[in-house]
Amino acid sequence: MGVAALTALLTLVTPVTGAAAAPAGFFGISPQAAVPPADLARMEGVVGALRIPIYWFQCQPAAGEYDFAALDAQIGAAADHGIRTQPFVYGTPSWLGDDPARPPLGPRARAAWARFLRVLIRRYGSDGSFWRGRERREPVRLWQIWNEPNFVVFWHPKPNPAGYARLLHVSARAIGGADRRARIVLAGVAPVGAGMKTWVFLRRLLRRPGVSRDFDLAALHPYSTNLDELSYQVEKVRTAMALTGVKRRSLLITEVGVASWGTYPSAFVEGPDGQAQFLRAAFRRLLAMRQRWRIAGVDWFTWRDQRPLDHTCSFCQGAGLVNLEGKPKPAWWAYRQMVRATRVR
């Protein structure tokens, strides 16, 4: 037996101790690409949520023209395996501008964005047409608006809490009017160098008039290489929320992770065993602090290792729970073990 296989086996059979209980569906995964049906079958009974992107520019390549084939396949296959879809909606189409990271804030773009959200709700929401006649239904109830708007890569020309507040308000009116059971999630904010600190962005956003009425849950991507750093990030965000009057709102961790390998030097590359150890320790910490931090769920980034490389991320290509060939890493066995050991019975 090889070293990797032995490590995975030992990880699988070693009991998890000292972990708090988690509600059903608490742990999810944020994949980098569409998840094949065989991988969804592997996730069944373990993964509660699949956080996927809904790219506006792909789903509506022209005004009035929609292409939901790929999205239908992914959402339907996930539902068939009892996994709910938790999307974030992002990316301005070319018929409204030449930059997908420039948010739809002009009058024409705002109206088009609102129409697109209503189309999504009518298709995948609580009473969505997509679910009619399906044996297994997992209507989309959580709608996350954009992605990492505090990061210059995803919000052009530069992060702007006031601009995000305008986008959020348009989104809240469109979604709330189409599905009363829908809940709106703020975009996940991340600790990035090229942008604004997570808690600074949120503090400025939440001080904008009316913002507190436009969302139900906040979201954070507390990327870190150790538990103290992870805890510091969550505490700073919770403090920002308390100072701006929304301390009772829940917080979703919609991305967190480290890599087993990487092409670039990075502190986030910890080797196969180190990745599994970090996952186990991070999940334990987040569960132990779940009530204090009001954490509603945790999504690991990501499912499968990827090529080509992402030049904006030093570790993303090796952050999967399975490798490039789809073979499980020690981190996948650690994930499975944590879910099963902490599940409320």
DSSP labels, 11-32: HHHSPP-SPPPB-TT-EEE--S
Token pair 């600074």 in the structure block, residue: 200
| Over residues 303-325, mean pLDDT | 90
Q: How far is CA 96 from CA 37, 109, 174, in A?
A: 34, 6, 19
15 pLDDT exceeds 90? no
Kindly report the CA angle at 123 between 120 and 125, in degrees rounded to 5? Answer: 80
First to last CA, the chain: 35
Give the tens place of pLDDT for each residue, 244-289: 999 999 999 999 999 999 988 899 999 999 999 999 999 999 999 9
> pTM for this structure?
0.93
Q: How many angstroms separate the CA atoms of 221 and 51, rounded?
A: 13
- Give, as one character, the DSSP assignment of residue 244: T
Q: How many angstroms separate the CA atoms of 249 and 230, rounded?
A: 20
Q: What is the pLDDT of residue 16?
A: 47
CB-based burial, 144-177: b 16+ in 10 Å, e otherwise: bbbbbbbbbebbeeebbbebbbbbbbbbbebbbe
Q: How far is CA 115 from CA 112, 173, 178, 232, in A?
A: 5, 11, 10, 39
Give the tens place of pLDDT for each residue, 95-106: 999 999 999 999
- Which is more confidently placed, 210 or 311? 210
How confident is residue 167, by pLDDT bands cut at 50, 70 and 90?
Answer: very high
Q: What is the pLDDT of residue 56?
A: 98
Q: What is the pLDDT of residue 19?
A: 61
Q: How far is CA 146 from CA 88, 154, 243, in A?
A: 6, 8, 24
At 14, list the tokens. Answer: 């070693």
Q: What is the pLDDT of residue 313?
A: 84
- Cβ–Cβ < 8 Å for 176, 144: no
How confident is residue 345, by pLDDT bands cut at 50, 70 and 90?
Answer: low
Residue by residue, DSSP assigns 266-282 as -TTB-HHHHHHHHHHHH
CB-based burial, 82-118: b 16+ in 10 Å, e otherwise: ebbbbbbbbbbbeebbeebbbbbbeeebbebbbebbb
Q: What is the pLDDT of residue 338?
A: 94
Q: What is the pLDDT of residue 6?
A: 36
Superfamily of domain 3-14+28-342: Glycosidases (3.20.20.80)
At 128, list the tokens. Answer: 């969505």
- Give, as one character, the DSSP assignment of residue 184: E
46 pLDDT exceeds 60? yes
